Structure 1
Amino acid sequence: MRRYWLLFAQAVTICLALYMVIAAVRPDLLRGPVRTVELGTGARPAALIQSPGLPPSGSYREAADRAMPAVVNILTSKALPPNHPLLNDPFFRRYFGERNPQAENASLGSGVIVSPDGYILTNYHVVEAADQIEVVLPDGRRAIGKVVGTDPETDLAVLRIDLKNLPVMMLGHPEQAKVGDVVLAIGNPFGVGQTVTMGIISAVGRTNLRINEFEDFIQTDAAINFGNSGGALVDTRGNLLGINSAIFSQTGGSVGIGFAIPVSTARSVLESIILKGYVERGWVGVESQDITPELAESFGLPRDKGAIIAGVVRNGPADRAGIKPGDILLAVNGQPVPDTTVMLNLIAKLPPGRKAKMTVLRSNREATLDVSVGKRPRAR
């Protein structure tokens, strides 16, 4: 019995040694027959493996698919002034060529459908002074766009089209957006067609850019170019965060610094325009200036930042309430005022016809005054 066991062990050892030698020298001898499939005229190895069709990791196709149908192209045209009568003279045209007196100046932009009733948000500068507006949907439908109202101070405009079964983009929550969040910019850059670019939120609450009168921009590095104005800035769920409005560029193209108007601002403008035809804002009749360390040192001010009242409109709401030049505005209805931009935004949000409490610092003493809020004159 022991003899048979030794023979079996030796046989197994020899087989393993042969297998290792063949695997190292001729591994192809150990493979099974190659299965082939008919591809065209000849047979090739069936080495191609079909994926299950799932989206790749990190893809935002679902957000893009949800948002893109509601982003439209806006084509505007403006008739140029008529040519000089001399240009219509046959003798002149014979030697200097034809001149078309009906020539038009055309431009393009983008917009976002935000209501099944056909309301579209876009930039004011996209439709400013346009004689005709045509809206082109991604599905190929076209419609004439009518201007419902504009707000030059935020560079927003509301259009309306008369079409059925419109795709609508859901509004997001820009107040929850943080620096580093991934966003998508959707529009029609340079007229090449609807395009989606990706980036992150670079900053929120950008002000003092001297672009609009009221500023609270979302800054992003998602590529925004000519033609993207009025398009959508969306989150990774396809919800609208802002209306793409402007870029900082020395070349005219994207350099990674773009700005979008938060949808919270756009929504208030939209609702006001739909209800009243214009945007109504609060006004108290003051002119202010940012306090700087240099200004504080020169005038002996007790604070080196904030907003100082530089002028008061005679018989205006602030004048009647007792606010005087040189007062430092500390708060509006309990909300602190760190600079003139915040002060302007806080006052603009006050409902006209009601009273607001404004806290000022005068001669190192605080005082709270009741101001009857007036209506801000409309921008021309």
Structure 2
Amino acid sequence: MDRIMNTRRVPIVLLVIIAVFFGLLGGVSGQLLSRVFLLQDLYGVPLFGEIDVPENLYQGSSLIIESPEKVIVEQNTKVFETVNSAKRSMVAIFEKIEKPEKKTEDVLLEDFYKLENPLAQAFVVTSDGWLISTYLPQRLINIESVLATSTREELELEYLDELTIITQDREIFEITDVEYDKKAMVSFWKIDSTDLPVRQFEQILDIQAGQLVLAVNWNSKVWLTSVADKKSTSESLIKSSDDLDLEIKLVETIDKDFGDGFLFNTEGDLIALLDDRSEIIPISSFFSCVSCLLEKKNISNSYLGINYIDLSTVLDVSEKYNEKSGALVYVDLNNPAVKKNSPAEIAGILEGDIIVSVNGLKVDKNTSLNSLIAQYSPGEVIDIAVIRGDENIVLSVVLDQIQD
């Protein structure tokens, strides 16, 4: 009798297991199908591939894109209000073309400028007409080599007269001045204006891995992706406090069509400049340049004068010094740890010191020493906290400017 009961229980157990399995399978399949159709019907977002962003996508929806994909949007499509606002601070550099004469109708810019094909793009730095760009024409560099100052200035003005700036509102401006930094590979262009729209610049400390960002160019193309990391472009173990070598790495490589465009956060604040070498340079790297340009009408970068090892990137060294982060002041093969007569030497920084903060901002894997120094202008006084043996010391340093 027991044997008969046991043989009856086996099919019942199997039926229960099969029913549970197909029930779960049906639930998972239904959820996947509902996600696909809901995303496509409600938001216009496909499961794979490029995303076409409709005009009302972010108005009141709670859609979260977990794996940002490429987003390319034509000019007649509104992506975000923040992007539209940010674009107002973007301008383009063109070779000057004389306006053609027409007797029967108004002449449009499109009649004589190919607006989709500028020489370069630039971004408004100040409302009174200073612009920043990664465009550094060889002709400008060649002019600098001319020995006679008067001849050099004459050649520069002659070159500027061949160019023009066009804004998003289709206004045309003459270029009155240009300054550039060969080391940083950026240029600053001046036009006569008093009311240009200015955007906020994001600090390097606020840029975090996983942060959603938008690359935007003059032709209104937008690429949606996220930050992967902030890294030094230098492969050397020993770094200089005065090199601008920080670069932002993205989850995806931005298409080359973006050229010298710009990178924004979702608030429309400028994060970085893009260049034709596919490098993404944080705008904070140029804070000292901008400050000097406004105050002294020339470009100069801040100078501390030390070489160091980033302890957060070298496990063996950090364990030896019992510190997992900070900048270990260290001798280079060709240069001393602390350069002679430098602001660092004058302030009393020594080889073997571990710099742990600048004005209270911690030096770690997210914020390198040279990126912090780049925030300040020559002449500014900063407090540098160091560990020296068993002592914690704060030294006051007056930054100088890098000499050519």
Instruction: Describe the superposition over 1:11-47 as per-residue Cα deviations: whole angstroms up to 9, x where unpaired.
Output: xxxxxxxxxxxxxxxxxxxxxxxxxxxxxxxxxxxxx
Equivalent residue, structure 2, for 1:225: 256
- For residues 347 and 283 of structure 1, the distance between their equivalents in structure 2, rounded to whole angstroms, comes to 8
Equivalences for residues 178-257 of structure 1 within 5 A: 179-188=209-218, 194-203=219-228, 206-210=230-234, 213-220=243-250, 221=252, 223-225=254-256, 228-229=259-260, 231-236=261-266, 239-246=268-275
Cα offset, 1:107, TM superposition: 8.4
Distance 1:232 1:366, change over 3 A: same
SS of corresponding position for 1:346: helix
Contact 1:148–1:274 (8 Å) recurs in 2:
no
Distance 1:344 1:69, change over 3 A: closer
SS of corresponding position for 1:129: helix
Contact 2:343–2:398 (8 Å) recurs in 1:
yes
Instruction: Describe the superposition over 1:174-195 as per-residue Cα deviations: whole angstroms up to 9, x where unpaired.
Output: 665655554432224xxxxx13
Matched, 1:276 2:296: yes
TM-score by length of 2: 0.54
Instruction: Tell me the amino acid that sits aligned with residue 121 of structure 2.
Output: S
Instruction: Tell me the amino acid that sits aligned with residue 186 of structure 1.
Output: V
Instruction: Tell me the amino acid that sits aligned with residue 207 of structure 1.
Output: K
- For residues 116 and 374 of structure 1, the distance between their equivalents in structure 2, rounded to whole angstroms, comes to 28
Contact 1:60–1:236 (8 Å) recurs in 2:
no
Work out which of the residue numbers 340, 347, 364 in structure 2 matches 1:314: 340
**Stretches of structure 2 lacking an aligned partner (at least 5 in a row):** 1-53, 59-77, 97-116, 143-158, 236-241, 332-336
Equivalent residue, structure 2, for 1:66: 85
SS of corresponding position for 1:145: strand
Equivalent residue, structure 2, for 1:170: 199
Percent of paired sites with the same residue: 21
Work out which of the residue numbers 78, 91, 111 in structure 1 matches 2:122: 111
Cα offset, 1:374, TM superposition: 3.8
Q: Which has the larger radius of gyration?
A: 1
- For residues 257 and 387 of structure 2, the distance between their equivalents in structure 1, rounded to whole angstroms, comes to 46
Distance 1:168 1:218, change over 3 A: farther
- For residues 387 and 206 of structure 2, the distance between their equivalents in structure 1, rounded to whole angstroms, comes to 33
Distance 1:56 1:278, change over 3 A: same
**Stretches of structure 1 lacking an aligned partner (at least 5 in a row):** 1-53, 78-105, 189-193, 250-257
- For residues 215 and 161 of structure 1, the distance between their equivalents in structure 2, rounded to whole angstroms, comes to 29
- For residues 350 and 236 of structure 1, the distance between their equivalents in structure 2, rounded to whole angstroms, comes to 26
Please provide the CA RMSD for this pair: 4.1
Matched, 1:286 2:297: no
Equivalent residue, structure 1, for 2:402: 377
Instruction: Describe the superposition over 1:290-342 as per-residue Cα deviations: whole angstroms up to 9, x where unpaired.
Output: 34234467xx5444653222212234343344433233333334443337972
Instruction: Tell me the amino acid that sits aligned with residue 282 of structure 2.
Output: I
Equivalent residue, structure 1, for 2:349: 323
Instruction: Tell me the amino acid that sits aligned with residue 242 of structure 1.
Output: I
- For residues 301 and 112 of structure 1, the distance between their equivalents in structure 2, rounded to whole angstroms, comes to 44
Equivalent residue, structure 1, for 2:386: 360
TM-score by length of 1: 0.57
Instruction: Tell me the amino acid that sits aligned with residue 129 of structure 1.
Output: I
- For residues 201 and 367 of structure 2, the distance between their equivalents in structure 1, rounded to whole angstroms, comes to 25
- For residues 80 and 396 of structure 2, the distance between their equivalents in structure 1, rounded to whole angstroms, comes to 51
- For residues 185 and 296 of structure 1, the distance between their equivalents in structure 2, rounded to whole angstroms, comes to 36
Equivalences for residues 11-160 of structure 1 within 5 A: 55-58=55-58, 60=79, 62-75=81-94, 108-123=119-134, 125=136, 129=141, 131-132=159-160, 133-160=163-190
